[in-house]
């Protein structure tokens, strides 16, 4: 391990838990053309030779810079004092575009959030919401949530990321730690189908109660009806050329 990756001592002169090992970025897809056309009708955008590699950042090397190292040190030390090894709770720590994100294993999401809220050196008192994402190609982690946190006391920001598979779309609710995420989790359930265990009333919030499916998933059928415009027939969205 390089000198830049060594942990800093805590206030008692003891070393904090070792930082996580550096991981390379993971390539999840390679898209061709402007819209990633599937070949159903050719790319009409004029960017047919454009190739884009879609990748997820890996574990970032230390030092991260700014207050990021201090936040990681304090969080890892606090988890260790609770008897939870940091590498058990945290999959990786990513610094990307000047943002710090802790990728948390779902079983420990609530404990990590509570530690970030309650530790005096962290004090992330405000949760800014819960956002869902659907990655259908990511087997075993198709569904993902992003939870941005703000420390008003220290004027700092971090993000929590957690995933779950399509076959078991369960994540622990954070309403017991941040009560204000009640409606955010309801919207994420409504749009993506992620079930937040422990939520007091996980019901639809945007769509009617009897609405089938979850509209912001990428495998959700577009539906619709054909439309006539000055004699031309425009097919419904799910019958048009695919640019996915």
SS3 (DSSP) at 197: strand
45 vs 240: CA distance, rounded Å: 15
CA distances from 87 to 34, 108, 111, 133 (A): 39, 11, 14, 24
Residue (of 172, 148, 168, 7) closest to 75 by Cα position: 7
What average pLDDT does this structure show over 190-219?
94
Low-confidence winner among 130-139, 156-165, 175-184, 187-196 (lowest mean pLDDT): 130-139
19 vs 202: CA distance, rounded Å: 37
Distance of CA 228 to the CA centre of its chain: 41
Query: pLDDT-based confidence at 2, cuts 50/70/90?
Result: very low
Name the architecture of domain 59-213: 2-Layer Sandwich (3.30)
Token pair, residue 158, equals 């971090």
pLDDT tens per residue across span 6-46? 444 444 445 656 677 777 777 877 877 665 555 545 555 55
CB atoms within 10 A of CB 26: 11
215 vs 132: CA distance, rounded Å: 12
**For the chain, how big is the Rg over CA atoms in Å?**
22
110 vs 101: CA distance, rounded Å: 16
């Amino acid at each position: 391990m390089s000198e830049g990756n060594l942990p800093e001592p805590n206030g008692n002169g003891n070393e904090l838990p070792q930082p996580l090992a550096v991981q390379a970025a993971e390539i999840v897809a390679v898209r061709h053309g402007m819209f990633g056309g599937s070949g159903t009708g050719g790319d009409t955008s004029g960017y047919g030779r454009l190739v884009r590699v879609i990748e997820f950042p890996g574990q970032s090397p230390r030092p991260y810079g700014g207050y990021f190292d201090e936040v990681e040190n304090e969080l890892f030390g606090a988890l260790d004092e609770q008897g939870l090894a940091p590498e058990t709770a945290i999959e990786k720590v990513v610094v990307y575009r000047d943002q710090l994100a802790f990728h948390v294993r779902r079983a420990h999401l609530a404990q990590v959030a509570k530690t970030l809220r309650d530790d005096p050196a962290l004090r992330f008192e405000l949760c800014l919401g819960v956002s869902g994402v659907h990655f259908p190609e990511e087997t075993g982690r198709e569904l993902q949530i992003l939870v941005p946190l703000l420390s008003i006391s220290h004027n700092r920001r971090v993000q929590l990321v957690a995933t779950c598979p399509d076959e078991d779309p369960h994540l622990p609710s954070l309403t017991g730690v941040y009560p204000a995420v009640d409606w955010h989790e309801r919207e994420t359930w409504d749009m993506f189908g992620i079930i937040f265990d422990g939520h007091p009333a996980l019901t639809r919030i945007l769509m009617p109660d009897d609405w089938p499916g979850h509209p912001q998933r990428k495998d959700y059928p577009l539906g619709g009806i054909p439309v006539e415009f000055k004699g031309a027939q425009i097919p419904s969205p799910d019958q048009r050329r695919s640019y996915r």
